[in-house]
Amino acid sequence: MTKTGGNRYGTHRAIEPKGSLPQPAWKLDNSVDEIWDNELLIDVETLNVDAASFRQISEQADGDPQKIGEIILETVAKRGKQHNPVTGSGGMLIGTVAEIGTALQGKRDLAVGDRIATMVSLSLTPLNIEEIIAVHPATCQVDVRAKAVLFESGIYAKLPADMPDKLALAVLDVAGAPAQTAKIVHPGQTVLIIGAGGKSGLLCLHEAKKRAGITGKVLALCRSEGAAARVQESGLADAILRGDAKDAMGVLKLVEEATDGQLADVTINCVDIPATEMTSILATKDGGMVYFFSMATSFTAAALGAEGIGKDVTMLIGNGYTKDHSEIAINTLRENSILREMFSKLYA
């Protein structure tokens, strides 16, 4: 018999502390033999572990794919979810709807057999892994045989019919970044994207260029030759700056030179490494905005650092959700054939 009376936010699955919200909870109930009436059960095919988390796991495993898989299995066994205990972050997944709780039937545009991507973090998603089939370090994706639960409040996106699943997964994993960029960038602004050659950075470049328009200016900060080459190929940056995102003073000099000392109106931080907060803040003019999409960000360091240098900037937490974010992100590849081809080679 289906369980009834579950909380829409999933507190009924929290084991430790009992009754807490599932994201901050240390451990969730990941049993899948019987779901609650306000849950979806998903047959999971692929996990897309967030970049900061995957980097940490890979370093812990010395880059060994088998050990990476073992660490993920250990985390899920202990916590009932893929919630990295070091970075605090998760990722997302794609799979097929296996069961719809009775309380949700007829209330969603969804049917058993539909293929979806969950648009909430793995750090709050009950997950039960039967087997890890393959680990793909280049894309942070892990093929699995598993089941997961989506709560009543959980958001999802149906996988688009016009692109391969893993390509869609790669884009939807960072859907908040280009969608937030579309909201915060305005015509005529100077925009700096830190980590511009990565997945989220390239999508943000497209939206920044589109929204800033011909009177705006888009600067791309890249560390590696490969990242710079991807940005160059995209044709989306007015200037490519080569520098280390952890070198705050070095990057400040580059941005001053590129803007005649005016600095950026909007800075978007997409890197997956820590200690880049002050670089973002210093590169932004007083009255500007810094969007920290990276889950490696220390918001304590950002807040106290800005105070310490007397910089008056608005700082936006990298909320992975904003209205229509999945549609905006997917549409980026529909609009930009160069990015679509690039992403297809990398992720599909």
Residue 83, judged by CB atoms within 10 A of its CB (0-12, 13-18, 19+), counts as buried
Segment 268-285, tens digit of pLDDT: 999 989 999 999 999 999
Q: What is the pLDDT of residue 308?
A: 97
- Give the residue among 59, 24, 23 at the shortest CA–CA distance from 274: 59
Max intra-chain CA distance, the chain:
68
Average pLDDT, the chain: 96
The pLDDT of residue 320 is 81
Give pLDDT, residue 15. Answer: 98
Q: How far apart are CA 251 and CA 209, in angstroms?
A: 21
pLDDT at 318: 83
Q: How confident is the model at residue 106 (pLDDT cuts 50, 70, 90)?
A: confident
- Across 144-149, average pLDDT: 98
Where do the domains of the chain lie, and which CATH numbers do they carry? Answer: 11-159 (no CATH), 176-347 (3.40.50.720)
The Cα–Cα gap between 285 and 103 comes to 50
For range 15-29, the mean pLDDT:
97
pTM (2 decimals)? 0.89
CA dist list (Å): 147 to 10, 126, 221, 247: 16, 8, 39, 42
In DSSP notation, 146-189 reads: EEEEE-TT--EEEPPTTS-HHHHHHHHTTTHHHHHHHHH--TT-
What phi and psi values does residue 307 have, to the nearest 5 degrees? -60, -40
Which tokens is 179 given? 């969608």
